[in-house]
Amino acid sequence: MPARRRLDRGDLVTTALALVDQDGMAGLSIRRVAERHGASPMALYRYFPDKNGLDDAIAERLLSEVGLPEADGRAWYEQLRDLLEEVLAALRRHPHAVELVFTRILTSEPGLALAERVLALLADAGLSVERAAETGTQALCSLAALVLAEPGRAESREDEDSEAAARLKRASLLALSPRRYPHVVAAADALASCSSEDVFYRRGVDMIITGIRGMDPDPAPAAPASTGP
Amino acid sequence: MPARRRLDRGDLVTTALALVDQDGMAGLSIRRVAERHGASPMALYRYFPDKNGLDDAIAERLLSEVGLPEADGRAWYEQLRDLLEEVLAALRRHPHAVELVFTRILTSEPGLALAERVLALLADAGLSVERAAETGTQALCSLAALVLAEPGRAESREDEDSEAAARLKRASLLALSPRRYPHVVAAADALASCSSEDVFYRRGVDMIITGIRGMDPDPAPAAPASTGP
DNA sequence: ACCTGAACACCGTTCAAGT
DNA sequence: ACCTGAACACCGTTCAAGT
- For A90-132, the pLDDT digits (tens) are 999 999 999 999 999 999 999 999 999 999 999 999 999 999 9
> By the CB < 8 Å criterion, does A22 face chain B?
no
Please report which confidence band the pLDDT of residue A221 belongs to, taking 50, 70 and 90 as the band edges: very low
Q: Is the CB of B47 under 7 A from strand D?
A: no
A4-20 pLDDT, tens digit each: 569 999 999 999 999 99
C-alpha span between B140 and A204 (Å, rounded) = 12
Q: Which residue of B has its CA nearest to A143?
A: B142
Q: Is the CB of A39 under 7 A from strand D?
A: yes
> By the CB < 8 Å criterion, does A211 face chain B?
yes
pLDDT average, residue stretch B74-97: 98
Percent of chain A with pLDDT over 90: 82
Cβ(B54)–Cβ(B44) below 8 Å: yes
Nearest CB among B138, B145, B207 relative to A212 is that of B207
What pLDDT does A165 receive?
86
Please report which confidence band the pLDDT of residue B24 belongs to, taking 50, 70 and 90 as the band edges: very high
**Residue B135: pLDDT over 60:** yes
pLDDT average, residue stretch A131-150: 95
Q: Is the CB of B46 under 7 A from strand D?
A: no
**Residue A159: pLDDT over 60:** no
Closest of B143, B74, B131 to residue B102, by C-alpha: B143
Burial of A11 (0-12, 13-18, 19+ CB in 10 A): middle
**Residue B181: pLDDT over 50:** yes
Percent of chain A with pLDDT over 70: 89
**Residue A3: pLDDT over 50:** no
3-state helix, strand, coil in chain A (%, to 5): 65, 0, 35
For residues B105 and B195, the model is more confident at B105
Cβ contacts of A216 on chain B, cutoff 8 Å: 206
**Residue A204: pLDDT over 70:** yes
Cβ(B84)–Cβ(B209) below 8 Å: yes
Cβ(A140)–Cβ(A118) below 8 Å: yes
Please report which confidence band the pLDDT of residue B16 belongs to, taking 50, 70 and 90 as the band edges: very high
> By the CB < 8 Å criterion, does A128 face chain B?
no
Between the alpha carbon of residue B145 and those of residues A147, A149, B50, B125, B140, the distances in Å are: 11, 10, 27, 24, 9
pLDDT average, residue stretch A38-50: 98
Please report which confidence band the pLDDT of residue B165 belongs to, taking 50, 70 and 90 as the band edges: confident
Nearest CB among A172, A189, A206 relative to B215 is that of A206
pLDDT average, residue stretch B143-172: 82
User: Which residue's CA is nearest to the C1' of nucleotide C11?
Assistant: A29
Cβ contacts of A145 on chain B, cutoff 8 Å: 102, 138, 141-142, 144-145, 148
What pLDDT does A218 receive?
60
C-alpha span between B83 and B66 (Å, rounded) = 9
**Residue B215: pLDDT over 90:** no
What pLDDT does B156 receive?
66
What pLDDT does B162 receive?
76
Tell me the pTM.
0.92
pLDDT average, residue stretch A185-208: 95
**Residue B15: pLDDT over 70:** yes
What pLDDT does B8 receive?
97
Residues A51-83, buried b or exposed e (16+ Cβ, 10 A)? eeebbbbbbbbbbbebeeeeeeeeebbebbbbb
* DSSP letter assigned to residue B3: -
